[in-house]
Structure 1
Amino acid sequence: MTPETGLSLSDAVREATEVLAAAGVPSPRIDAELLAGHLLGVGTGRLRALVLGDTPAPAGYAELVAERARRIPLQHITGVAHFRYLELAVGPGVFIPRPETESVVQLVIDHLRDLPRTGRGPRVADLGTGSGAIAGSIAHEVPDAEVHAVEYSEFAHAWAAKNLLPLGVRLVRGDLRTALADQDGSFDVVVSNPPYIPAEAVPNEPEVALHDPPEALYGGGADGMELPTAAAASAARLLVPGGYFVMEHAEVQAGWVAAMLERSGLWTGVATHLDLNGRERATSAVRKPEAGSNERIGQ
């Protein structure tokens, strides 16, 4: 599929679609177009216009299609992931942000926009930032917010640095269990998309099972809830009284997360939120102004 073969862009994309479909790629036509657009440096709209003409297939297209047919993630091939209004640098060693997480970001942004301003912008902490998708989107869309992001993985931290430092996010490398301990009780919002997959629940998609880093997938313990519980514990100590916490989780974990927050005695207004597919994707809560000495986080 190169100009030297005389294959047109239209024919190349059609053949690529067939190759990717045979390989089980979930969206073969879209991926075929995105790979061609990546090589040509054009968006999907322009690419589709070029397909209608006699534009030749770009050099190297067949090689990229072959990589995608081996179920290498599209974002690893192109080096970018699109998330809300951002184009994030991604690659091996970092979790590729999912569209479902965009609804989690929207919950945070809606809350921040309703907060009264008292001489300073709101302070936000993102625990387990990965590529920086959540923290970066908040910083981009709520310019007066002071956003902090925490990431434990050395590789993911490096990707996050590329994405977040230009946006003014304060990135630290650390464990979400002990993150930002010198700033307890000072954040207006804490958000987290922690690893939450149970130990035995190996993902079916090769792109996830073989290419997303395990430390970004598995939440610890048979039920996968060790790190989500730890994220809730950290949120409780980091938030100001009345501060807002929102955490992403699997659909089947919604009831467990809500019960865990209710049982702790530290939260009020516990609510489950649906993503754009109608799945229970996130749970939010408000930090109680006061907590009794006998209350225990995550118990």
Structure 2
Amino acid sequence: MQEFAPSLTFSTLVTTLRAAGCVFAEDEAELLLSTASGPAGLAAMLERRVAGLPLEHVLGWAEFCGLRISVGPGVFVPRRRTEFLVAQAVALARAAALAPAPAVVVDLCCGSGALGTALASSLDGVELHAADVEPAAVRCARRNVGGLGTVYEGDLFAPLPRSLRGRVDVLLANVPYVPTEDVELLPAEARVHEPRVALDGGGDGLDVLRRVVAEATDWLAPGGSLLVETSERQAARAEETVGSRGLVARVVVSEELYATVVIGTRPR
């Protein structure tokens, strides 16, 4: 195990991080310095980062939609590209919130709860429900969601209150969409340190999406929308899948964030 001096300078941090293969060594050094509780804590954080842990797991948080989202070992780290999905969801939730009752939002496969937290933080009066099958993710999501909503543990729709059926205005489902054979091609930070259930989407990457779509219409309110992230190469098949159960599907793309989102709306 590599040992570090109890006092580390910025220059030493940068040199050590760069030698470990960290491309943005200067930025990471600044984050480590600003987060560490002291010299011993800084040395421990550096050691974990050099060992290959994701920076966000080392820091204990990830920046997402301007928020610090708590993350930890075994929890999927929210990606910046997913901010595009949240932006689409905020617009839809804002329109739904014009009704007498607050918009009802469900965040499936919520992981750290980043999506639901960011959406609820952007609007007033959202009724937020989130769920994930991974106990570590649920614990993390409950810290992030706090008083903004309720987090349930279970598989997809199973743990949600039956009273939500037919009432959901915005259904966020950041389902895993990496084809099984491609999981081993992912960077080690994801492949080794994030739960496989949050990455592996089955043979063609759309297995979990199909399960969500199979029930989505029963949960969505008339005019309510399902939003899912996918890859550019899967977009056409994902759109077809979302539209296969009576939802009106469309694809929206952000070239800046390299993000592709499929939106399926239940007809009124």
Same fold, TM exceeding 0.5?
A: yes
Amino acid at match of 1:256: R
Q: Distance in 1 between matches of 2:200 and 2:97?
A: 37
Runs (4 or more) in structure 1 with deviation over 4 Å come to: none
**In the alignment, which of 20, 23, 47 is matched to residue 23 of structure 1?**
20
1:275/1:100 Cα in 2 relative to 1: closer, same or farther (>3 Å)? farther
Instruction: Give the root-mean-square deviation of aligned CA atoms.
Output: 2.0
Q: Distance in 2 between matches of 1:158 and 1:269?
A: 33
Any idea what the Cα deviations from partners look like across 1:253-288, whole Å, max 9, x if unmatched?
1111012223x15122522332633x3421112112
Cα deviation, residue 170, structure 1? 1.5
Amino acid at match of 1:214: R
Contact 1:254–1:272, Cα closer than 8 Å, also in 2 = no
**Is residue 2:262 matched to residue 1:283?**
yes
**In the alignment, which of 168, 193, 202 is matched to residue 148 of structure 2?**
168
Cα deviation, residue 22, structure 1? 2.0
Q: Distance in 2 between matches of 1:288 and 1:14?
A: 58
Cα deviation, residue 60, structure 1? 4.2
Q: Distance in 1 between matches of 2:58 and 2:249?
A: 43
1:64/1:163 Cα in 2 relative to 1: closer, same or farther (>3 Å)? same
Structure 2: segments with no counterpart, 5+ residues: none
Query: Percent of counterpart pairs with the same letter?
Result: 31
Cα deviation, residue 177, structure 1? 5.0
Q: Work out which of the two has the higher radius of gyration on C-alpha atoms and give 1 or 2.
A: 1
Does the residue aligned with 2:106 lie in a helix, a strand or coil? Answer: strand
Contact 2:240–2:249, Cα closer than 8 Å, also in 1 = no
Q: Distance in 1 between matches of 2:194 and 2:97?
A: 39
**How many residues in Structure 1 have an aligned counterpart in Structure 2?**
262
Counterpart for residue 218 of structure 1: 200
1:65/1:116 Cα in 2 relative to 1: closer, same or farther (>3 Å)? closer
Counterpart for residue 65 of structure 2: 84
How high is the TM-score relative to the length of structure 1?
0.81
Cα deviation, residue 133, structure 1? 0.1
Which stretch shows the higher mean deviation, 118-127 or 107-116? 107-116
1:161/1:203 Cα in 2 relative to 1: closer, same or farther (>3 Å)? farther
Structure 1: segments with no counterpart, 5+ residues: 42-57, 290-299
Does the residue aligned with 1:245 lie in a helix, a strand or coil? Answer: strand
Counterpart for residue 33 of structure 1: 30
Contact 1:186–1:239, Cα closer than 8 Å, also in 2 = yes
Counterpart for residue 252 of structure 1: 233
Amino acid at match of 2:195: P
Counterpart for residue 215 of structure 2: 234
Q: Distance in 1 between matches of 2:97 and 2:68?
A: 30
Q: Distance in 2 between matches of 1:248 and 1:271?
A: 10
Which stretch shows the higher mean deviation, 182-191 or 81-90? 81-90
Counterpart for residue 103 of structure 1: 84
How high is the TM-score relative to the length of structure 2?
0.90
Any idea what the Cα deviations from partners look like across 1:66-113, whole Å, max 9, x if unmatched?
321221111221211221132222111211111111111111111222
Does the residue aligned with 1:171 lie in a helix, a strand or coil? Answer: strand
1:280/1:86 Cα in 2 relative to 1: closer, same or farther (>3 Å)? closer
Counterpart for residue 118 of structure 1: 99
Q: Distance in 1 between matches of 2:45 and 2:100?
A: 51
